[in-house]
Structure formats: structure tokens, C-alpha cells
Amino acid sequence: MSALHTISASPTSGLINSCLRLVCPGDGILFIQDGVYHCCPPDLLGDVSQDNALFALREDLLARGLLGKISERITPVGFGRFVELTVDYDKVISWS
Amino acid sequence: MSKFNYQAFDDFLDEEGYLLSLDRWDESVAVELACRENIKLTEAHWEIIRLIRKFYQRYQMAPASRALISYVKKELGSDQGRSVYVMRLFGGSAAKTVAKIAGLPKPDNCI
Amino acid sequence: MQRKSLTFITRQAPYGSNKAKLVIDAALAAAVFEQQVNFLFMDDGVFQLVQNQNAESISSKTIGRVLETLELYGIEQALVDSVSLEERDLSAEDLAIPVKILNVEQVRQLAARSDVVINL
């Protein structure tokens, strides 16, 4: 069963390392709230397999001045797509 | 002998009839609380009441039904460690009723 | 009611916040509803398992006492992430309750095959 992992705290939290221990091929990762600080350099997502889609909430990027600075691998999504993603994957695992 | 003036007894209970303060409990209080549940306490009742108080002392929480039955089974054996046995003594909501009579708070997660 | 497999991941140290207690309460509630419950200690959550705790000194309930009730609620086996133990220089002998230690792949499979994962 596929999972959408949401990460909602900044890289200092170390959440990405714990999250990646559970991530399976085909899972997605969505960065929200302070989690969006993972999306800009320095590259913190080098360990994430190409099998895993990466998303970030556009509103949270905008608010923090990061929208133009994010890595190309990351797809910005709005709230509507956020909701769709939670349905597209079999379950959501939230990291906070 | 009782610490209670029975007219003021209700002051020691919450709105659901659970004792507000654990250290107000003694056996005469249990008899009165049981009476309010239409239960006349026998040695079989006391055995379960003592056990649930032991549970509370050890685990610092009042057990829901499933845990109460597991604990009775562990401590007294499988004859008593069945929900039908405990329910025959204390009725359908046995975990809540035993907790109430034993002076414990209402168990969480009781269905 | 359809029986689902639920995995609760507890990742916080025991007394700094109420989160550790919240995860236990949620897992016990699920167990009362006869769901298939897995309970996994990860990250700082493994600190809940350290022996010889006595939280009376800080007016709290000792977490180990509450963890002992998992078994009585039919949550047969507590699971621990091996990496989290190693990161904190802990081993099975340091733990207050019997647990099953899972390697990285077992942890990943556990999450993958669960219907629901609650992670706090």
C-alpha cells in the first residue's frame, strides 16, 4: 500500500531521516508548514530515491519567500491538489 | 465506622457518581456505592474490587473492560477471568461499575 | 465493524510533552475496539522504555507502568526500531518491558502493510 508522507517541521528536526526509513518505492513526500525549508539548497533530498514524488505546499513556500528557490524535483501544489494527493495514496503518514 | 455523613455523601461524588478523591474510599464507602448500583457485595465482589484497586495502584489507571478481564484472568485464573463471570457480579458495564465501587476514576475507552 | 491493522508510532520522550501518553491512549482505544494494533517505538520514543524510571519526582505518571498495560489490552508485542536504539546507545537489556526489535526493512514493511499509521 502506498503512502503520502507529510513533513511539517524544519530540517533541524531530523524528521526527514526518520521518514526515509519508512518510505517505500512509490510513496510520495509532501512538505508543509516549516517542512518546506527542506526544499531549497543545501540539498537535503539527495537521499530520496527518484521513485518517490516530492511535493510542497505552494502557500507555505510563498509565505516564506521560497517559491522561486526550490529544487527542480519538487512540485508545488495548492490546497486542492493536497486534498487529491491524500486520496491518491492509500494512506497518509504525518511527520511533525 | 464511616468517615461520612451520608447526607453529604453526594458532595464526594462527581456527576456520574464516581468518588472525587481516591483517599476518601474505605469498605463502608464501597458498600454504599454498591448499594446505589443495586449490588449487595459478597466475597466474590470484594475479590474483584481488591483486584481493580491493585491494578490501579500498579498501572496508575482504571482498566477498560478488556484489560480488567485480562488482569482477573492473570491473577485469579481462567474460571474468573471471563467477562461473563465479572458481568454476572457487576452487570453489563462491569468495568465502569467496579471502578465506581472501588473508588477509582471512570475508566477511559470503555465501550 | 471491519477489522483494520493500525500501527501507532510513538516518537517522543515520555515527560516533556503529553504526546507519549496520547499515543498510548489512542492505541488502547483502538485495542478496545478489537482492531489489530501494532505499537512501535522510534526516535526519542525509545526513551520511554528505559528502566528504573520514577516520575513521581516530577509529579507525573511513570510511563513504564502504563506501557505494561498494553499486553492486558491485547497488544501482545511492543516493537522497537533498532536504528533508534543504536543512535541512543541503548540495547534490549536496558529496556523496562519485553519488546521485539525490528531492523530497518522490518520497520518499513510494518508501515507499508498497515491500513493506518498514526505517527506522533
Q: Where are the domains of chain A?
A: 3-95
Cβ contact A23–C113 (<8 Å): no
Amino acid at B105: P
A24: nearest CB among C43, C112, C119:
C112
What's the CATH fold of domain A3-95? Hypothetical Protein Ychn; Chain: A, (3.40.1260)
Q: Specify the pLDDT at position B5.
A: 62
Given a cut of 50, whether residue B1 has pLDDT beyond it is no
- Tell me the three cell numbers of residue B78: 481462567
B1 vs C6: CA distance, rounded Å: 50
On whether residue B73 sits in a domain, the answer given is yes
Convert the pLDDT of each residue in B67-89 to its tens digit. 999 999 999 999 999 999 999 99
- Min Cα separation A43/chain C (Å): 23
Do B and A have ≥3 inter-chain CB pairs under 8 A? Answer: no
Per-residue burial over B75-107, b = 16 or more CB atoms within 10 Å of its CB, e = otherwise: eeeeebbeeebbbebbeebbbbbbbbbbbbeeb
On whether residue B6 sits in a domain, the answer given is no
Domain coverage including residue C108: 5-119
On whether residue B65 sits in a domain, the answer given is yes
Domain coverage including residue B71: 16-101
Residue A89 CB neighbours (<10 A): 19
- Min Cα separation C111/chain B (Å): 25
Residue B111 touches partner C, C-beta closer than 8 Å: yes
For chain C, how many structural domains are there in total? Answer: 1
Known catalytic residue at B110: yes
Residue of C nearest to B58 (CA): C65
CATH code of the domain covering residue B91: 1.10.10
Instruction: List chain C residues with CB under 8 Å of B60.
Output: 61-62, 65-66
Q: Which of B95, B96, B57, B70 is nearest to C62 (CA)?
A: B57
Given a cut of 50, whether residue A20 has pLDDT beyond it is yes
Q: Which pairs count as long-range contacts for C3-6, CB under 8 Å and 24+ apart, including other chains? A: C3/C34, C3/C35, C3/C36, C4/C35, C4/C36, C4/C115, C4/C116, C5/C35, C5/C36, C5/C38, C5/C113, C5/C114, C5/C115, C5/C116, C6/C30, C6/C35, C6/C36, C6/C37, C6/C38, C6/C114, C6/C115, C6/C116, C6/C117, C6/C118
Do C and A have ≥3 inter-chain CB pairs under 8 A? Answer: yes
On whether residue B42 sits in a domain, the answer given is yes
On whether residue B9 sits in a domain, the answer given is no
Given a cut of 90, whether residue C99 has pLDDT beyond it is yes
Q: Specify the pLDDT at position B2.
A: 53
H-helix or E-strand containing B44?
A: helix B43-59
For chain B, how many structural domains are there in total? Answer: 1
Q: Which of C73, C16, C17, C64 is nearest to C41 (CA)?
A: C64
Q: Identify the active-site residue in B31, B64, B87, B110.
A: B110
Q: Specify the pLDDT at position C76.
A: 79
Instruction: List chain B residues with CB under 8 Å of C73.
Output: 64, 66-67, 70
pLDDT category of residue A44 using cuts at 50, 70 and 90:
confident
On whether residue B108 sits in a domain, the answer given is no
Q: Which of C81, C86, C87 is nearest to C104 (CA)?
A: C81
On whether residue B37 sits in a domain, the answer given is yes
